[in-house]
Chain A
Amino acid sequence: MLGFSKKETDRAEAVADNAVMQGRSLLADARLRFRQNKAAMGSCVILGLIVAFVIIGPFFAVWDHETIDWTAMGDVVGLGAPSLASGHYFGVDDLGRDLYSRTIQATQTSLLVGLIGAGMALVVGTFYGIIAGYFGGRLDGLMMRFVDILLAIPTTLVIILILVVAGKSFTTLFLALGAVSWLTMSRIVRGQTLALKSREFIEAARAGGVSDAGIVTRHILPNLAGVVIVYASLLVPDMILAESFISFLGLGISEPNTSLGALIAEGAGTMAYGTIWQLLFPLFFYVTIIITMFFIGDGLRDALDPKDR
Chain B
Amino acid sequence: MKMTKSTLVAGLLAGTMLSTTAFAAGTHPVTGEALADDQTFTYRILDEHSSVDPQVVEDVSGAEIVRDLFEGLMNQDKDGNLVPGVATGYTSNDDNTVYTFTLRPEAKWSNGDTVTAHDFVFAWRRAADPALASPYQWFIELMSIQNAAAIIAGETAPDQLGVKALDDHTFEVTLSAPLPYFPQMTTHSTTFPAPQKVIEAHGAEWTKPGNIVSNGAYVLTEHLPQERSTRERNAMYWDNENTIVDKVVALVINDENVALTRYLAGELDRTEVPAGQFPRLQKEHPGEAISFPRLCNYYYTFNLSDSGPEEFKDVRVRKALALAVDRKIIVENVMAGGQTQAYSFAPTATAGFTPPTTEMATMTQAERDAMAIELLAEAGYDKSNPLKFNMIYNTSEGHKKIAVAMSQMWKQKLGVEVELGNMEWKVFLETRGNQDFELARGAWCGDYNEASTFLDLLDSNSGYNDGKFVSPRVDELLAAAKTAKDASANYTEVEQIIAAEMPVIPIYHYAGVYMMDSDVGNWPVNNVEQNWYSKNLYKIAE
Complex contact B404–A94 (CB within 8 A): no
Hey, which bits of chain B sit against chain A, CB under 8 A? 255, 257, 260-261, 274, 276-277, 280, 329, 332-334, 394-395, 397, 400-401, 403-405, 407-408, 411-412, 419-424, 427
Hey, which bits of chain A sit against chain B, CB under 8 A? 66-68, 70, 73-74, 76-77, 94-97, 164, 168, 249-251, 254-256, 266, 268-270, 272-274
Q: In whole angstroms, how far apart are the Cα atoms of A164 and B427 in the complex?
A: 8
Q: CB < 8 Å: which of A68, A249, A268, A270 contacts B404?
A: A68
Question: With A94-B276, A255-B400, A269-B274 known to touch, is A70 a contact of B422 (CB < 8 Å)?
Answer: no
A272: B residues at CB distance < 8 A: 257, 260-261
Complex contact A273–B329 (CB within 8 A): no
Q: CB < 8 Å: which of B333, B395, B412, B423 contacts A73?
A: B333
B255: A residues at CB distance < 8 A: 269
Query: Given A66-B404, A256-B404, 5 more contacts at CB 8 Å?
Result: A74-B333, A95-B405, A250-B423, A255-B422, A272-B257
Q: In whole angstroms, how far apart are the Cα atoms of A272 and B420 in the complex?
A: 29
Question: With A70-B329, A250-B422, A273-B280 known to touch, is A94 a contact of B395 (CB < 8 Å)?
Answer: no
Complex contact A77–B421 (CB within 8 A): no
- Can you list 23 contacts pairing A with B, beta carbon distance less than 8 Å? A66-B408, A67-B411, A67-B412, A68-B404, A95-B405, A96-B333, A164-B427, A168-B421, A168-B423, A250-B395, A250-B422, A250-B424, A254-B422, A255-B404, A255-B420, A255-B422, A256-B407, A266-B397, A269-B255, A269-B257, A269-B397, A270-B257, A273-B280
B408: A residues at CB distance < 8 A: 66-68
CB nearest neighbor in B for A251 = B424
Q: In whole angstroms, how far apart are the Cα atoms of A250 and B280 in the complex?
A: 28
Q: In whole angstroms, how far apart are the Cα atoms of A73 and B331 in the complex?
A: 12
Q: In whole angstroms, how far apart are the Cα atoms of A172 and B423 in the complex?
A: 15
Complex contact A95–B261 (CB within 8 A): no
Chain A: minimal CB distance from B388 (Å): 15
CB nearest neighbor in B for A73 = B333
Question: With A250-B422, A256-B404 known to touch, is A73 a contact of B257 (CB < 8 Å)?
Answer: no
B424: A residues at CB distance < 8 A: 164, 249-251
Q: CB < 8 Å: which of A66, A94, A269 contacts B401?
A: A94
Chain A: minimal CB distance from B412 (Å): 7
Complex contact A68–B420 (CB within 8 A): no
Q: In whole angstroms, how far apart are the Cα atoms of A95 and B276 in the complex?
A: 9
A68: B residues at CB distance < 8 A: 404-405, 408
Chain B: minimal CB distance from A173 (Å): 14
Max chain B Cβ within 10 angstroms of own Cβ: one of A67, A250, A269, A272: A250
B277: A residues at CB distance < 8 A: 273
Max chain A Cβ within 10 angstroms of own Cβ: one of B277, B408, B422, B427: B408
Complex contact B257–A95 (CB within 8 A): no
Complex contact B403–A255 (CB within 8 A): yes
B276: A residues at CB distance < 8 A: 76, 94
Chain A: minimal CB distance from B495 (Å): 30
Q: In whole angstroms, how far apart are the Cα atoms of A188 and B347 in the complex?
A: 61
B422: A residues at CB distance < 8 A: 250, 254-255
A67: B residues at CB distance < 8 A: 408, 411-412
